[in-house]
Structure 1
Amino acid sequence: MTDDLSSPPSTQRGERIAKALARRGVASRRDIERMIEEGRITLDGKPVTHPATFILPHDHVCVDGKPIDPPQRTRLWRYHKPAGLVTTHHDPEDRRTVFASLPKAMPRVVSVGRLDLNSEGLLLLTNDGSLARELELPSRQWIRRYRVRVFGLVDEKKLQALAKGCVIEGVHYGPIDATLDSTKGDNSWLTVSLREGKNREIRKVMMGMNLHVSRLIRLSYGPFALGNLKPHELEEVAHKTLIDQIPSLKPKKARS
């Protein structure tokens, strides 16, 4: 059973602060717990000291001294991430981040999954951390499709064998559909589809076949496609489309 993503629980006690702030797109629950340990979150002017703190929708909560807006309706955006940005809110190496590159008018958002520094293409962004977790669930079995440029000699039989899954350096990867689209010299373009999406999965699997990934572009994530978005461009998904794809977002009808 999944949480009702359309609104927070309507109890006098409220909900745990990490869950509430994740729902509002501040950061992941784990990151919020870290922020609490660092003393960066206050409730009614006093530092929050425990992640089990409960808050109500209109409590005055600040992160790094900045007020957090009350809960908004759930929204989702398609964003064309260029290479060279990291998908994190705070990077210890002070590299450019996806979130710092967004328009100033954007609300606080979190990403659905990640694309690493050198990967590009479709990245889904939402103002609702619960929705992000929902869309990341392996049980959803959504296909992620990529356009991949590799350097090296492509063995098409080995590509086809990926459909049965593989083990690379002791890690088991699920079925991957990979087809050879074109070859020019030592460079080839592949179309790769998978449902699992482990960390750097495509790069590691290709390396296991002696292929170096020189470019990786995500074309789609489930029913959401990159389309004609140019690098740095983003477009909000229509609310009706979002509800059609995520029925749990549909408002509950009051009982008569």
Structure 2
Amino acid sequence: MDAAEDGAERGERIAKWLARAGVASRRDAEKIIAEGRVKLSGKLVTQPATFVQPDDVVMVDGKPVNEPERTRLFRFHKPAGLVTTHRDPEGRPTVFEKLPEGLPRLISVGRLDLNSEGLLLLTNDGALARRLELPSNAWVRRYRVRVFGHVDPAVLAELKNGVTIQGVRYGGIDAGLDSRKGDNAWLTLSLHEGKNREVRRVMAYLGLEVSRLLRIAYGPFQLGQLERGTVDEVNPKVLRDQLGLAAPVRKR
């Protein structure tokens, strides 16, 4: 018996299965397992190396989890004023509360902070979310940013060499001045890492106050003309072409 046959007989690791089912990323699925919140066919799961067979029933927090469906990816035009989380301890409105009904359980690819707007990718596949977040993808995140303060194009150009702020190293950023009116200006920034609050911190380092931050692209996926607060599913063929995913197997 070869390794592929052995893997098929054992099934799929439960953490990966939960990620594909959109419950959480694989890493968070492992935390959920460690917290004793997962059962497999009535038995408590204690190890992420547990395997799921086709006829098994998986439950999280006492509720059955549907089998993973095909991988799906959505573009969402996030408005300002929403937090990118399923639950907020401060009671602020969340992205997932504002999504239309009828969608599968979704998780976000990365985050946009409370006051940021624009393109947020959502998927039902936690493993895909983790893959799209990896810095090794080198996918460009592109933003339009309105700032208040004096903008020096020469200083903006220096950002391509990266910058260290309070001990944190930020990689190269392509920054350009689009327009200026008085002390207000619009910039376009392109970066690869997308660290937490990176744009705001780099702008503050330059003495610029961000008054609006809009993400317009994440890798090959564009905000385009998507209206604020609306969701649009990425065509499955585009998803396969861009990410190299296998086409779904047709059942006979």
Scaled by the length of structure 1, the TM-score of the pair is 0.88
Structure 2 counterpart of 1:177: 174
Q: 2: CA distance between counterparts of 1:22 and 1:135?
A: 14
Contact 2:88–2:94 (8 Å) recurs in 1: yes
Residue 184 (structure 1) shift: 2.4
Q: 2: CA distance between counterparts of 1:192 and 1:163?
A: 10
1:91 aligns with 2:101: no
Structure 2 counterpart of 1:106: 103
Tell me how large the CA RMSD over aligned residues is.
Answer: 1.9
Q: Secondary structure at the match of 1:249?
A: coil
Distance 1:26 1:57, change over 3 A: farther
Within 5 Å, give how 1:67-86 maps onto structure 2.
Answer: 67-86=64-83
Contact 2:84–2:108 (8 Å) recurs in 1: yes
Aligned partner letter, 1:180: L
Deviates more, 1:89-98 or 1:188-197: 89-98
* Matched pairs, number: 244
Unmatched 5+ stretches in structure 1: 1-8
The one of 153, 156, 159 equivalent to 2:153 is: 156
Structure 2 counterpart of 1:47: 44
Residue 54 (structure 1) shift: 2.2
Could you list the per-position Cα deviations for residues 151-190 of structure 1 after superposition, in whole angstroms to 9, with x for gaps in the alignment?
2111111101101111111211111011111222322111
Within 5 Å, give how 1:1-256 maps onto structure 2.
Answer: 11-250=8-247
What stretches of structure 1 move > 4 A for 4+ residues in a row? none
Contact 1:57–1:71 (8 Å) recurs in 2: no
Unmatched 5+ stretches in structure 2: 1-5
Could you list the per-position Cα deviations for residues 197-239 of structure 1 after superposition, in whole angstroms to 9, with x for gaps in the alignment?
1111111111110111121110011111111111210111111
Aligned partner letter, 1:108: R
Q: Secondary structure at the match of 2:10?
A: coil
Residue 251 (structure 1) shift: 5.8
